[in-house]
Amino acid sequence: MKSWWGNLSYTTRMTCSFALIALMTALVAAGFLAFVWEQHFQTYTRENMQITADSTAARIAERYVEEGGWTTETVSAAAYVGVTYPGVGIVVADSSGTTRYDSTNVVNPEQGSSARSLAPPDPDSVATADIMVNGESVGLVRVWVYGSDGLLRQTDLAFRENSYQAMAIASVLAIVLASGIGFLFARSLVRPIKRMTQTAKAIGSGDLTARTGLQGDDEISQLGETFDAMAESVEKDRKLERRLTTDVAHELRTPLMAIRSTVEAMIDGVFVPDEERLATVNSEVERLSRLVDALLKLSRLENRSTPMKNELVNVGDLVSSIIGAHEAFVVDSGLEMVYEAESDVLVRGDADMIRQATANLISNAVRYTPEGGMITVKVYKGEIMASIMVQDTGIGLTPEEAKMVFSRFWRAEAGRNRESGGLGIGLSVVKEIVDRHGGWVEVQGKKDEGARFIIHLPLYSKERELAQQREAARQQRRLGKRANR
C-alpha cells in the first residue's frame, strides 16, 4: 500500500520538498541569527551598564567634593539613573559598606518599615565602578538590569523588533518563492518525462513512428534522444522482420512449388519418374536445405550456442586455401582475383569460423561484381590488429547502405532477384563471427565504384598473451580469496 506521499504527483512532491527546504533553511537561519543577536545585545547591555556605572560614579565624586561628604545631593546622580531607566537597579555604598542609595529597596509588610534590596547576589551580573576622590575610593556604584531590555534605547528596541519581523517576512517570502520555483522546476522535468511516457504508450499500441522529439544537452534530453534512437531501431527491425517474412515465404514457396508440381506430375503420369525429374526435385530440396542451414547458423551464432575454438591461426595460410577453393567459381563468373598476404599474420580464434566469414565476403563480392570486374583480397597486420580485406569493383554502396549492410536479411536493392542477391544473411554471419573474436568489420564503398570490407581481428602476441594469462590468474586468486572469506 502506498503512503500518502507516494500518492501525490511528482510536481506536488517537488513543490512541497522545495517549500520544506526553504522552511528548514529559514528556521535554521532565524535561530542562528536570534542566538547571535541575543549575544550581541547582551554584550551591548553589559557595556551600557558599565558606562552608566562609570559615569554615575564620576558625577557622584564631583558632588562628593562639592558637598564635602555624603548628602542627599551627593547621590542625586544615582537617583536620576534610577528614575530615567525604570528597568535598571543602582546601589551606592560608601567605603565602609554602608548603603547610601538603593533604587530597589522595597518595604516588607511583615517587618513594618524595614526594607530589603533586590540587588542580585551574583557579582557577574552587576557592573561596578569605584567613586574616586583625590585618588582614593570613597565608595562604590553597582548597576544591573531587571531584564534583557534594560539600558537599551528605544531605537535599539525598535531595531531588534523590526529585525525579527523582517526575518519572519523573509522566511514566508522564501517559502513562497521556493514553492513557485519548485513547481516550475518540477513542471520542466515532468513535461519531457510525460512526453516519453506518451511516446512509449504509442509505440506499445503499435505506432512505431512515434517519437519524443526531445533535443538538448541535459540528461533528460539525451535520454529522449536515446529513446528515439531505440524506437527508430525497433521500427527498422520490425520492417526487416516483415521483409524477412516475405523473403523467406518467397524463398520457401518457390522450391516447394517446384517440388510439388514435379511430384504431382509424376504421380499423375504426366512426367516419367526418371533421373532428370528426380534431379530437379533433389536440386530444389538442396536449395531448401541451404536456406534452412543459413538461418540456423545465424541463429546459433547470435545465441552463442556454437562453441568457439581457441587455436593459433595463420591468417595468410587460411585465406590462401579459401582463394584456391573459390578460384574456379571466380573464373566461371568472368572475374579476376588478386591475392596478397604478409607473412606470419597470426591470431587466436576458430579457424573454421574465420574461414566462413572470409568465404562469405568473397562470395558476396563475386555476386555483386559484373563480368570483367576484379576482386582483391589482402592479408596484412598492424600494431595490434590483423586485417583481411576483400575489395571488388561491383555495384558499390551508398553511405546509407553502408550503415545497413550488416543488418539481418538486408539487401542493397529490394528489387534484385534472389538468384543474384541471396537472402541477405551472409554479412550478418560475418559480423557475428568477427564480434565473437573481439574484432570488428569495416565497410567502405561508393555507388557504382565497388565496395571494400575489412575484417579486423586481434593480432596474436606471445607477450600480450602471457600478460593476459597472468592477469587472469591474478583475478582467479582474488576470487578465490573472496570465496574463502
Residues 343 and 261 in one domain: no
* Ramachandran region, residue 454 (left: φ > 0; alpha: ψ -120 to 50; beta: rest): beta
**Number of folded domains in the chain?**
3
Closest C-alpha among 139, 142, 161, 165 to residue 152: 161
CA–CA separation, 354 and 275 (whole Å) = 38
Q: Where among 249, 271, 301 does a domain terminate?
A: 301
The sign one gets for the Cα dihedral 83, 88, 89, 94 is: negative
Our CA angle for 406, 432, 289, nearest 5°, is 85
Residues 439 and 372 in one domain: yes
Q: Where among 242, 277, 301 does a domain terminate?
A: 301
Q: In this structure, is residue 130 part of a structural domain?
A: yes
CA–CA separation, 391 and 414 (whole Å) = 23
Q: For position 339, what pLDDT does the model report?
A: 94
Q: HSE-up of 405 (CA within 13 Å, CB side)?
A: 21
Residues paired with residue 132 on neighbouring β-strands, in sequence order: 137
Q: For position 174, what pLDDT does the model report?
A: 78
Q: For position 213, what pLDDT does the model report?
A: 83
Q: For position 400, what pLDDT does the model report?
A: 81
Residues 368 and 420 in one domain: yes
Q: In this structure, is residue 194 part of a structural domain?
A: no
Q: HSE-up of 176 (CA within 13 Å, CB side)?
A: 6
Identity of residue 354: I
Residues 246 and 323 in one domain: no
Q: How many residues can be counted in the chain? A: 485
Taking the chain (485 residues) in runs of 10, the rounded mean pLDDT of each run is 61 77 77 71 76 88 88 84 76 88 62 57 78 90 69 61 77 79 76 84 83 80 85 78 68 74 81 79 76 68 70 92 88 92 91 90 90 94 92 88 74 48 70 90 89 93 75 74 61
Residues 29 and 150 in one domain: yes
**For residue 466, which phi and psi values (nearest 5 degrees)?**
-65, -40
Cell matching residue 446: 561508393
CA–CA separation, 170 and 148 (whole Å) = 25
* Ramachandran region, residue 134 (left: φ > 0; alpha: ψ -120 to 50; beta: rest): left
3-state secondary structure (DSSP) of residue 77: helix
DSSP structure string for 248-289: HHHHHHHHHHHHHHHHHHHHHTSS---HHHHHHHHHHHHHHH
Residues paired with residue 136 on neighbouring β-strands, in sequence order: 133
Residues 32 and 137 in one domain: yes
Residues 27 and 144 in one domain: yes
Residues 293 and 414 in one domain: no
Are the C-beta atoms of residues 402 and 444 closer than 8 Å to each other? yes
Residue 325: domain span = 308-467
3-state secondary structure (DSSP) of residue 393: coil
Residues 312 and 416 in one domain: yes
Q: What is the model's pTM?
A: 0.46
CA 429 to chain centre: 35
Cell matching residue 332: 566461371
Question: Which residue shows C-alpha cell 516475405?
Answer: 246
DSSP structure string for 423-434: -S-HHHHHHHHH
Query: Could you report how far apart the first and last alpha carbons of the chain are, in Å?
Result: 39
Q: In this structure, is residue 346 part of a structural domain?
A: yes
Residues 439 and 377 in one domain: yes
Burial class (CB in 10 A: 0-12, 13-18, 19+), 219: exposed
Are the C-beta atoms of residues 127 and 104 closer than 8 Å to each other? no
3-state secondary structure (DSSP) of residue 70: coil
Q: How many CB atoms lie within 10 A of CB 262?
A: 18
Q: In this structure, is residue 184 part of a structural domain?
A: no
Are the C-beta atoms of residues 103 and 90 closer than 8 Å to each other? yes
Q: In this structure, is residue 131 part of a structural domain?
A: yes
Q: Where among 252, 280, 301 does a domain terminate?
A: 301
Burial class (CB in 10 A: 0-12, 13-18, 19+), 8: middle
The continuous run of DSSP H or E covering 228 comes out as helix 219-268
* Pairing label, strands 136-145, 88-94: antiparallel
Residues 355 and 461 in one domain: yes
CATH of the domain at 347: 3.30.565.10
Cell matching residue 87: 528597568
Q: In this structure, is residue 316 part of a structural domain?
A: yes
The continuous run of DSSP H or E covering 14 comes out as helix 10-67
Residues 315 and 428 in one domain: yes
Q: In this structure, is residue 170 part of a structural domain?
A: no
Q: In this structure, is residue 120 part of a structural domain?
A: yes
